[in-house]
Amino acid sequence: MNKYFGSSYQFGSLGGFLSVCAFGLLSFLQPDPTNLNLVFGYIITPVSIFLALKFFKEYFNNGFISFAEGMSVGFVTYMLLALISGLGIWIILLAFPDLFEAIKISKLEVLQTNVETIVSQVGETSYTSTLDSIKDMVPLDVALNDAIWKIIPGLFFTIIISIILRKNPN
């Protein structure tokens, strides 16, 4: 079993750690680091998956990787990345409640600035629901959102990278 997931553990952990570090660094640069951290996640997630699959193929599986093996290794990689990232962000937000309040205020300002556009596109009910959910937001919500936005693209990238790197023995 370790043969299959050795590279997943390495690159999933590294990606999660880098994501938490990016969130921490971005929080010093701007009041709401969540949006740029999502962009960083769209970069680090496929890189982590690619490296995990490539290392598995080259160093653990004699130059071969099936689609199923690629999906398994990729799944563990992006789930570990999302878990570490979400947990790390949650801990940061619990440790620094002022940062969480700044994020919450920033999201409320975006809603209030674009109220006419949002209402015209999705309706008053959806706007009010979104406003209420942001007012009720807790640090765990921010962390779960980050983790989910690592898992969804992770699945997509795992499928593509598994197909590209697939090489079965004859």
Residue 84 binned pLDDT confidence (cut-offs 50, 70, 90) = very high
CA–CA distance, 63 with 84 (Å, rounded to integer): 29
Q: Tell me which amino acid residue 140 is.
A: L
CA–CA distance, 154 with 10 (Å, rounded to integer): 16
- Domain limits, the chain: 2-96+139-165
For the cut 70, the answer to whether the pLDDT of residue 1 exceeds it is no
Q: What is the pLDDT of residues 111-166, one digit of tens each?
A: 899 888 888 898 889 889 989 999 999 999 999 999 999 999 999 999 999 999 99
Does the pTM surpass 0.75? The reply is yes
Give the number of C-alpha atoms closer than 13 A to the C-alpha of residue 117, restricted to the C-beta side: 5
Residue 169 binned pLDDT confidence (cut-offs 50, 70, 90) = low
Contact, 61 vs 2, CB < 8 A? no
CA–CA distance, 91 with 84 (Å, rounded to integer): 10
pLDDT at residue number 137: 95
**DSSP designation for 62:** T
Q: What is the pLDDT of residues 14-63, one digit of tens each?
A: 999 999 999 999 999 988 899 899 999 999 999 999 999 999 999 988 88
